[in-house]
Structure 1
Amino acid sequence: MTRSTPVSLLTALGQPEVYPFYAVEMLFDSAPVRFWTGYGERTIGVDTYLGTGNLLNISGLEEVNDLSSKRITLQLSGVPASLISLALQEPYKNRPAKVYFGTTDTTTPIEVFSGRMDVMDVEDGGDTSTITLTVESKLVRLEKASNWRYTEGSHQSRHSGDTFFSFVADLQDRDIVWGREKA
């Protein structure tokens, strides 16, 4: 992904002591959920992120030069059992998710991954549980087959009243003169 890195972030990364963090934003229907890998609350832009410390694990982040589809795994451990029911009831499939990288010395992190939530696994451990969420890049949609067919019925289900495909059968065996006079 081509991106410009803010000068403030480049300056902070060049310091003798660097305090990096990741921030995750997941846009659910009911409300967005925002975490960061530090402690306490952190305001990024106008949004507030809840600190998870070392309870949030992000794996699979890698920078590539091609247009290959990638996926990351977000794992949040130490989740109270009372919140598991909320995680199970909330629709999450195909909802947007983003991962940002920054340092505590700057206020402008950069987006390092953007995609759609795919699979959520919940491991119940009694008092606390672990939630694992797979997020796929938007390019995964290019690898999936479309369920739409080039037929009158399929077209009518998407565009009611459009009669485009009703003329296809008549055109199938027709001799069409194009660019020359009719013989």
Structure 2
Amino acid sequence: MGAREDLLAIPDEFLRHGRIGHAALVHMDFLDAPKRWWTGYGDLEVGGFTWQGLGDLISISPIETSYEVSAQDVTFELAATPEMLALALAAKSRVRDRSVTISCELFAMEDVSVGPNDIQRGQPVASPFSMFSGTMQRMPWKAEGPNSRTIQLECHGLFLRRNAAALGLWNDSDQKARYFGDKGFERLPIYANDYETRWRG
């Protein structure tokens, strides 16, 4: 049963009660160390997985919800733990272009009796439904003194380049994907900033 069917299956009496909370479930597929977080405290068993409460996750930038296809970006702010710093330093190989998903889970905010069933406070209700799917990109970090460090994780939505032709950029990676081993664009970046060629006669 899909998320829509799960939501429709929630008893009306519970929905009318109005004591429903929600939390974000985040899966980041870091190479060799995938992480599952949720924006609460303690471990949470949902969808056959264990989600770590809060963990290193601090905040998520606002996510637009609409029925339109969106190319929105999302930015996470992470705690500067040794593990996160190691990932930031190795972002090109362990983070960039790997998948990230954000789902929403509904919870009962207090004990509710619905017909013959009791829903306990904090109990997940229905299946999580997807709010964002994309790929992880840069992981910029900065330190301001010995006690203040911040790490961000920038993520692109799956439809970021939906209007671009496949391999449509004039850069080294696209050229090598078109023609393996071609070196025609390797030196292109050095010509981007007022590069001057001097010819010798």
Shorter-normalised TM range: 0.5 to 0.7
TM-score scaled to structure 1, two decimals? Answer: 0.67
Residue 72 of structure 1: how far off its partner (Å): 1.1
* Aligned partners of 2:141 and 2:151 also within 8 Å: yes
Consecutive unaligned residues in structure 1, runs of 5 or more? 159-183
Return the alpha-carbon distance in structure 1 between the equivalents of residues 37 and 10 of structure 2.
23
Flag the 1:81–1:98 CA change in 2: closer, same or farther, 3 A: same
* Aligned partners of 2:96 and 2:137 also within 8 Å: yes
Return the alpha-carbon distance in structure 2 between the equivalents of residues 49 and 68 of structure 1.
27
**Equivalent position to 1:97, from 96, 100, 112:** 100
Return the alpha-carbon distance in structure 1 between the equivalents of residues 69 and 33 of structure 2.
31
* Aligned partners of 1:9 and 1:103 also within 8 Å: no
> Residue 106 of structure 1 corresponds to which residue in structure 2?
124
> Residue 7 of structure 2 corresponds to which residue in structure 1?
7
* Aligned partners of 1:9 and 1:106 also within 8 Å: no
| Secondary structure of the corresponding residue to residue 142 of structure 1 | coil
* Aligned partners of 1:22 and 1:102 also within 8 Å: yes
Return the alpha-carbon distance in structure 2 between the equivalents of residues 58 and 16 of structure 1.
25
> Residue 118 of structure 2 corresponds to which residue in structure 1?
none
Amino acid at match of 1:136: H
Residue 92 of structure 1: how far off its partner (Å): 0.7
Amino acid at match of 2:37: F
Return the alpha-carbon distance in structure 1 between the equivalents of residues 177 and 60 of structure 2.
41
Residues paired across the two proteins, number: 152
Consecutive unaligned residues in structure 2, runs of 5 or more? 108-122, 182-201
* Aligned partners of 2:27 and 2:36 also within 8 Å: yes
| Secondary structure of the corresponding residue to residue 98 of structure 1 | strand
Residue 119 of structure 1: how far off its partner (Å): 1.9
Deviant stretches of 4+, over 6 Å: none
Amino acid at match of 2:132: F
* Aligned partners of 1:60 and 1:71 also within 8 Å: no
> Residue 38 of structure 1 corresponds to which residue in structure 2?
40
> Residue 142 of structure 1 corresponds to which residue in structure 2?
162
Return the alpha-carbon distance in structure 2 between the equivalents of residues 9 and 39 of structure 1.
27
Q: Deviations over 1:71-121 (max 9, x none)?
A: 1111123x3346422442252111000001112332521111100112212
> Residue 60 of structure 2 corresponds to which residue in structure 1?
58
State which structure, 1 or 2, has the greater radius of gyration over its C-alpha atoms: 1
* Aligned partners of 2:101 and 2:130 also within 8 Å: yes
Residue 130 of structure 1: how far off its partner (Å): 2.5
* Aligned partners of 1:115 and 1:138 also within 8 Å: yes
Percent identity for Structure 1 against Structure 2: 26
Where do 1:161-172 residues align within 5 Å?
none
> Residue 80 of structure 1 corresponds to which residue in structure 2?
81
TM-score scaled to structure 2, two decimals? Answer: 0.61
What is the RMSD of the two structures over their aligned residues, measured on CA atoms? 3.3
* Aligned partners of 1:37 and 1:54 also within 8 Å: no
Residue 124 of structure 1: how far off its partner (Å): 3.0
> Residue 181 of structure 1 corresponds to which residue in structure 2?
none
**Equivalent position to 2:180, from 148, 154, 157:** 157
Return the alpha-carbon distance in structure 2 between the equivalents of residues 129 and 22 of structure 1.
24
Residue 10 of structure 1: how far off its partner (Å): 5.1
| Secondary structure of the corresponding residue to residue 19 of structure 1 | strand
